[in-house]
Amino acid sequence: MDKRQITNYVNFTALICYIIGRILNMSILCWIGLAIMTLSSIWTIIHWKENDKMSNYISVAFLVLVGLSLFGL
């Protein structure tokens, strides 16, 4: 399996955890999703040139989502 696919699956899993946590009002699931998104996005940004453009843009969007969630917006 390619590294790019692994990061996409990790991002997708984190997004699902975050959404389910928001729907069911389970803050621990939201925090787990945000933590996974943060770590995965930082790893993707560190390896910016190795990834395709779409993965890079998705990771930036996830970091924006994490920032907005931390500020309560």
pLDDT digits (tens, 9 = 90+) for 20-69: 999 999 989 999 999 999 998 888 888 888 888 888 888 888 889 888 98
Q: What is the pLDDT of residue 16?
A: 94
Reduce the secondary structure of the chain to three states and give it as a string: CCHHHHHHHHHHHHHHHHHHHHHCCCHHHHHHHHHHHHHHHHHHHHCHHHCCHHHHHHHHHHHHHHHHHHCCC
The reply to whether the predicted model has a pTM over 0.85 is no
